Structure 1
Amino acid sequence: MTNKNLVMTAIDFKTPRQLPIWDNYWGKFSDNWREYMNFDKTVCPEDYYGICISICVADESLFPSQKKIIKTEGEYEISNDGWGRIVRTGKNNIYFSETVDHILKNPSELTHFKPEPAALDLRFDGFAEKVNREKKAGRCVFAKIGGLYCRSQFVRGEENLLVDMALDENFCNDLFDVMLEHRIQMALETLHRGDLWDTGLFIYDDMANSKTVNFSPAMFENYFLPRYKRLINEVKKAGCRHVFFHSDGNILPVMEMLLEAGFTGFNPLEPSCGMELTGLRKQFGKRMVFFGGVCNKFILPRGNKKEIEAHVRPLIELGRDGGLILGQASIGDDINPEAYDYYISLIKEHGNYCN
Structure 2
Amino acid sequence: MLTPAENLRRLFAKQPADYVPLFDSPWGDTLKKWVTQGYPTVRNKRKVKEKVVEGGREVEREVEREFDDPVSPTEHFGFDMAGVGGWFDMMPLKGFSEVIEETDEWRVTRNGAGAAFKYWKNKSGTPEHVDFRMTSREVWERDYRPHLLAVDPSRVGIEGAKKALDEWRGKGRWTFYGHLFIWECMRQSMGDITLYQSLLLDPAWIHDYNRVYTDFYKAHYKLLFDQAGVPDGIWMYEDLGYNKGLFASPKVLAELIFPYFKEVVDFFHGYGLPVVLHTCGSTREALPMIVEAGFDGLNPMEVAAGNDTLEYAEKYGDRLLFVGGFDKRIIETGDRSLIRREVTRFMKGMKARGARFVFASDHSISTNTDYAAFLYAHQVYREHRLY
Same fold (TM > 0.5) = yes
CA contact (8 A) 2:86 2:161 kept: yes
Q: What are the within-5 Å matches in structure 2 for residues 1-355 of structure 1?
A: 1-37=2-38, 39-41=40-42, 43-55=71-83, 56-63=85-92, 65-70=94-99, 73-75=102-104, 76-95=106-125, 97-112=127-142, 113-116=145-148, 117-124=150-157, 126-197=160-231, 199-237=232-270, 239-296=271-328, 298-317=329-348, 318-319=350-351, 321=354, 323-328=356-361, 329-353=363-387
Distance change >3 Å, CA 64–CA 18, structure 1 → 2: farther
Q: Deviations over 1:150-181 (max 9, x none)?
A: 11121110121011112222222222222222
Per-residue deviation, 1:266: 0.4
Sort the Cα spacing of 1:271 and 1:137 in 2 relative to 1 into closer, same or farther, 3 A: same
| Unaligned residue ranges in structure 2 (runs of 5+) | 44-70
Give yes or no for contact 1:141–1:196 (8 Å, CA) kept in 2: no
Corresponding pairs, count: 350
Name the SS for the 2:187 alignment partner.
helix
CA distance in 1, matches of 2:282, 2:3: 32
Given that residues 117 and 129 in structure 2 are in contact (C-alpha distance below 8 angstroms), is that contact kept between their aligned partners in structure 1?
yes
TM (normalized to structure 1)? 0.89
Mark the CA change 1:35 to 1:46 in structure 2 (over 3 Å): closer, same or farther.
farther
Write the letter of the residue equivalent to 2:291: L
In the aligned structure 1, how far is the partner of 2:255 from the partner of 2:161?
Answer: 35
Rounded to whole Å, the distance in 2 between the matches of 1:29 and 1:173 is: 39
Q: Which runs of 5+ in 1 are unaligned?
A: none
Deviation at 1:137, TM superposition (A): 4.4
* 8 Å CA contact 2:308, 2:325 repeated in 1: yes
1:59 offset after TM fit, Å? Answer: 2.0
**Which letter does structure 1 place at the counterpart of 2:262?**
K
More divergent stretch after superposition (307-316 vs 282-291): 307-316
Cα RMSD between the aligned structures? 2.4
For residues 345 and 13 of structure 2, the distance between their equivalents in structure 1, rounded to whole angstroms, comes to: 20
Other structure's SS at 2:134 match: coil
Q: Which has the higher contact order (CA 8 A, sep 6+)?
A: 1
SS at match of 1:218: helix
SS at match of 1:131: helix
% identical equivalent positions: 18
SS state of the match for residue 22, structure 1?
A: coil
User: Are residues 100 and 137 of structure 1, via their aligned partners in 2, closer, same or farther at CA, if it must alter by over 3 Å?
Assistant: farther
TM-score by length of 2: 0.82
Which has the larger Rg? 2
User: Which shifted more, 172-181 or 205-214?
Assistant: 172-181
1:35 and 1:66 map into 2 onto residues whose CA distance is: 36
Which whole-Å CA distance do the structure 2 matches of 1:251 and 1:261 have between them? 14
In structure 2, distance between residues paired with 1:33 and 1:66: 34
Inter-CA distance 285–335: structure 2 relative to 1 (3 Å threshold)? same
Distance 1:131 1:37 in 2: 29
Displacement of 1:203 in angstroms is 1.2
Deviation of 1:29 (Å): 2.1
| 1:265 Cα deviation from its structure 2 partner | 0.9
Q: Residue by residue, what CA displacement relative to the aligned partner does 1:191-237 show, whole Å, maximum 9, x if unpaired?
A: 4444225x221111001011211110110111012222222223323
1:118 deviation in Å? 4.2
Partner deviation per Cα, 1:102-161 (whole Å, 9 max, x = no partner): 231222122232244444234216332233333344421111221221111211101210
Choose 287-296 or 170-179, whichever is displaced more.
Answer: 170-179
Mean Cα displacement is larger for which, 244-253 or 271-280?
A: 271-280
Choose between structure 1 and 2: higher helix proportion. 1
For residues 137 and 79 of structure 1, do their structure 2 counterparts lie closer, same or farther at Cα, with a shift above 3 Å needed? farther
Change in Cα spacing, 1:80 to 1:336, as seen in structure 2 (3 Å) is same
Equivalent residue for 2:62? Answer: none
